[in-house]
Structure 1
C-alpha cells in the first residue's frame, strides 16, 4: 500500500500572534533576506493576503511576488506588511 503524502503549508500552523512572533524572530535572526521575505509571505497568507493587500494599499499579486523566496520587497513594503500584521522592526545590539 502506498503512503499518501500531503502538502504542508506553514501558514496553517500560525494560529496565534505568539506563534507568528517566534516564526518571524527566527527569520530575522537568520539574516537571510530571502528567508525573511518568504516568512513574511507565509505570515501574510496566514492572516489573509486579501486583507493585508487592502490594509497596505498594495496589489495582492505584488505582495505574493515580493514576499516569495525569490522576491525582494522594498523596505516600504516590508514595513507596511509588518504594520498590517501587527508587528514592527526593532533594533537591538548584535552580540559579537
Structure 2
C-alpha cells in the first residue's frame, strides 16, 4: 500500500505566473498569515540561501520572518517580495449598491 505524500505548495512553484497567482490569491484573503505562509512557500521553492543574498538579509532572519505566527516588519516583506521577482498592486474594491 502506498503512503500518502504530504502536500507541499513549494513543489508547484515552477513559473513566475504560478507564483504570482498564488501570492495574489493569498493577498486577496482577509488573513495576513495566509500571505506570510504563501511567501514562505515561494521562498522555499526559490531557495532560502539565494533569497538571503537577494534581500541582503541573513538566512536565519528570513526563517524567523517566515515562521508561523511571525510578524515581520513591512520593510522585510517588501524586500522579500522584490527578491521573489513580483510586485504588489492595488485596485479599487467593487462595492455592491
TM-score, reference length from structure 1:
0.90
- 2:30 aligns with 31
Structure 1 unaligned spans of 5+: none
Q: Secondary structure at the match of 1:53?
A: helix
TM-score, reference length from structure 2:
0.89
- 2:66 aligns with 67
CA distance in structure 2 between the aligned counterparts of 1:68 and 1:35, rounded to whole angstroms: 12
After superposing the two structures, state which structure 1 stretch, 52-61 or 11-20, moved more: 52-61
Q: Secondary structure at the match of 2:68?
A: coil
Q: CA deviation at 1:69?
A: 2.7
Cα-Cα RMSD: 1.3
CA distance in structure 2 between the aligned counterparts of 1:72 and 1:9, rounded to whole angstroms: 22
CA distance in structure 2 between the aligned counterparts of 1:7 and 1:62, rounded to whole angstroms: 26
CA distance in structure 2 between the aligned counterparts of 1:16 and 1:84, rounded to whole angstroms: 15
CA distance in structure 1 between the aligned counterparts of 2:71 and 2:78, rounded to whole angstroms: 13
CA distance in structure 2 between the aligned counterparts of 1:27 and 1:68, rounded to whole angstroms: 16
